[in-house]
Amino acid sequence: MDKRFIQVGARSPLPDPAKKPRRSVGKPAAALAVLAVIAAGCLFCEAFIPKDPAYMDLYHASQPPSRAFWFGTDTMGRDIFSMIWHGGRVSLAIGLLSTAVSTGIAVLSGAASGLAPKWLDGLFMRAVEIFLSIPSLLLVVFLQAMLGKAGVLSLSLVIGATSWTSMSKVVRAEVRRLRGSEYVLASRCMGGGFFHILRRHLAPNFFPSIMFMVVMNVRSAIAAESTLSFMGIGLPLETISWGSMLALSEKALLSGAWWIILIPGAFLAVSLLCMTSAGNWLREGGRQDSSHL
Amino acid sequence: MNDILLDVQDLTHCFRLGRRTVLRAVDKVSFQLHRGEIFGLVGESGSGKSTIAKCVMSLLRPTAGKIRYLGVNICDPGQFRAHKKLLQTSRQMIFQDSASSLNPRMTVADIISEPMAIHRIRPPRGTHRDEAAFQLRCVGMDAAYLDKRPGELSGGQRQRVAIARALCMGPDLLAADEPVASLDVSIQAQIINLFKHLQAEHGFTFLFIAHDLAVVRYLCDRAGVMFQGRLVETAPTAELFRNPLHPYTKALLSAIPIPDPRRERARVLEPFDPDRFDREGVLAEAAPGHWVLKKEAP
């Protein structure tokens, strides 16, 4: 090719300066470590739990923590230490599954609404607001009644289907901002369809701003599950989760068995706190802009 | 006529500003692009140049009028759908601000190969990455830039990447909406020379939108002058600059500074008075290939 058209100046880029590790400031190391320990413990609980979490040892019901039962036993004689790890699986699974459901709905609906013409967008947003104005507890009870007997899958579906609205609104606002940018126009010009533009252009740009909400969603889904189970409309007692363990606590409180309520509650609270601080850190990190020229 | 690539007839586009107010951005504009020519569209800001480009690229739907590309009426949704692939691959566009026309989160390699990825085209040089490297070299950049992101490039380099993205499909029609307006003058010269060279090499038809008359004079074969949504004059560039006929064109051309202080001082500016310029009438041929907006004979 003709030498005249080669750009003047640097022909090839200068070597990059040594890269500083990004996002290292303010990293909540302790929270992430605790979260990792809890998650790993739940995943690989078979390796170390001493007893079958579902076995009811009626001779040793409501035992305080001792050498045989590290965290004590509940009113039905199940070992709480084993139940914590085993039930953590279910709680985390519900948190992740329902977040996947709600994030999926939120991204698709938010992007569709953001890219839609003005009247359709307005109509959809009003519908979302109506949906938002119904108390979510009522919706959950109603949906759960329609789906029948509660299980891990149906519960996470129900929680996911009721918690996507606020995220959808954020996605829509971001898409509205992004859709006028010229790279989206250029992509449409080249023939990029809805899913192509969503995947290549919109999602990478709006994901940092919903990252925080996604993590918070895991948190609130776990909290929602335990609330529902505590009230007795969530998981049945034989499915062990942190929430269903707490469901026993009303009786435990009367009999002064503090370990039945305090230990699952502490695990729940610690994991929720760790997720909140991880979410906050992600939100701070997401603000970094990539351009520095 | 077989060599007409793009035929724009009475193109009108209105923007609704409010319930009652309508802005007529483009008003009954007709022009034709022949295969392999560089057509420059000049005019002040707000005269409707970019709107024409967007209509031609089907980014806006014209309010009235017809745009025929290779005989396909692209304003008609049915015909557009029938020839979708052809229209989307053989027309490409370059935007004014390269900083915003490239996704800041994609690498140069991904940006250049995006159209190939959309249309699932097997690139002639093996992988998408190799093709992107080749196209990058064609616009005078080293393949080492493939893994950079737009934020790490200079304005001129970003515009080169945008050009490489447009050219990797081998387009027949390239529309550039003020592609050099956001660059400084020395980089403008490089990019303009690059356009000239690439056009000679690939032979694509080039709709070049600018407000810089010197650039149009240097680059374009034919030029059209826009004024408040009307196309007031089109002619071969040399003819237009030698013999401007419409009063607006005369005023516009007389405003070009002359790089010679003595002659610059003696230069007579045509009085600029927007009310004095005719916006009504139809294009009439004043000389072969030279069309001017004229009031219809009473």
What pLDDT does residue A109 have?
93
Which of B54, B88, B105, B182 would you mutate first to test chain A, the one with the most A CBs within 10 A?
A: B105
Note whether B170 contacts A: Cβ–Cβ < 8 A.
Answer: no
b/e sequence A45-62, b meaning 16+ C-beta within 10 Å: beeebebebeeebeeeeb
Quickly count: other Cβ atoms within 10 Å of residue A64's Cβ.
13
pLDDT for A280:
82
Across the interface, of B101, B106, B151, the residue whose CB is closest to A293 is B151
B104: chain A residues, CB-CB within 8 Å: 205, 289-291
- Residue B119 C-alpha, separation from nearest chain A C-alpha, in angstroms: 8
Give the residue from A4, A182, A195 with the most B CB atoms within 10 Å of its CB, the best one to mutate: A182
Most confident of A213-217, A232-236, B216-220: B216-220
Choose among A13, A182, A289: nearest Cβ to B101: A182
Strands B38-42 and B91-94: unpaired
Give dist(CA B152, CA A17) in Å, integer.
12
Residue by residue, what is the 3-state secondary structure of A235-274? Answer: CCCCCCCHHHHHHCHHHHHHHCCHHHHHHHHHHHHHHHHH
Tell me the average pLDDT of chain A: 81
Partner A, chain B 175-194, Cβ-Cβ below 8 Å: 186, 190, 193-194
A185-204 pLDDT per residue, tens: 888 888 888 888 888 888 88
Smallest CA–CA separation between A205 and chain B, in Å?
Answer: 7
> How distant is the Cα of A127 from the closest Cα of chain B, in angstroms?
25
Length of chain B: 298
E strand or H helix that includes residue A57: none
Interface test with B, best of A188, A189, A195 (most B CBs within 10 A): A189
- The two three-digit tokens of residue B95, written as one number: 């935007």
**In A, which residues are within 8 Å of B138 by CB distance?**
1
DSSP H helices, A134-286, are 136-147, 152-162, 165-179, 182-189, 194-197, 203-231, 242-247, 249-255, 258-286
Q: How confident is the model at residue A290 (pLDDT cuts 50, 70, 90)?
A: very low
Q: Which residues of A touch B179 (CB under 8 A)?
A: none
Q: What is the pLDDT of residue B111?
A: 92
Token pair belonging to B126: 């093996």
The mean-pLDDT minimum among A78-92, A272-286, B84-98 falls in: A272-286
How far out from the chain centre does Cα A115 lie?
26
**Is there a contact between A293 and B153 if contact means CB atoms under 8 Å apart?**
yes
- Give the pLDDT of residue B70: 87
Q: pLDDT confidence of A4, banded at 50, 70, 90?
A: low
pLDDT one digit per residue (tens) for chain B, 298 residues: 468 889 998 889 988 888 888 888 888 888 989 988 999 999 888 888 889 998 998 888 888 888 988 888 888 888 888 888 888 888 899 988 888 889 888 899 999 999 888 888 888 888 889 999 998 888 888 888 888 888 888 888 899 999 999 988 888 999 999 888 888 888 888 889 999 999 988 889 999 998 888 889 999 999 999 888 888 889 999 999 988 888 888 888 888 888 888 888 887 777 777 776 767 777 878 878 888 887 765 5
Q: What local confidence, expressed as pLDDT, does residue A100 receive?
A: 94
Contacts of B85 in chain A (CB under 8 A): 191
Alpha carbon distances (Å) from A284 to A24, A202, A278, A287, B257? 11, 20, 10, 6, 51
More confident residue, A59 or A103: A103
User: ipTM of the predicted structure?
Assistant: 0.80
Residue A291 pLDDT: 41
Domains and CATH numbers, chain B: 4-294 (3.40.50.300)
Q: Among A5, A8, A185, whose Cβ lies nearest the Cβ of B197?
A: A5
Nearest Cα neighbor of B195 from B209, B184, B182 is B209
Cα B62–chain centre separation? 17
Type of residue numbered A290:
S
Residue A18 is predicted with a pLDDT of: 67
Query: Which pLDDT score, from 0 to 100, does residue A172 have?
Result: 92
Residue B90 exposure: Cα atoms within 13 Å on the Cβ side: 16
Place of tokens 């209509």: B55
**At residue A293, does pLDDT exceed 50?**
no
Q: Please state, in angstroms and rounded to a whole number, the distance separating the CA atoms of residues B94 and B110.
A: 17
The reply to whether B114 touches chain A by the CB within 8 Å rule is yes
Q: Which helix (H) or strand (E) holds B14?
A: strand B4-16
pLDDT tens readout for residues A115-155:
888 899 999 999 999 988 888 888 888 888 888 777 888 88
Whether A133 contacts chain B with CB within 8 A = no
Catalogue all structural domains in chain A, each as residue range(s) with its CATH number: 93-286 (1.10.3720.10)
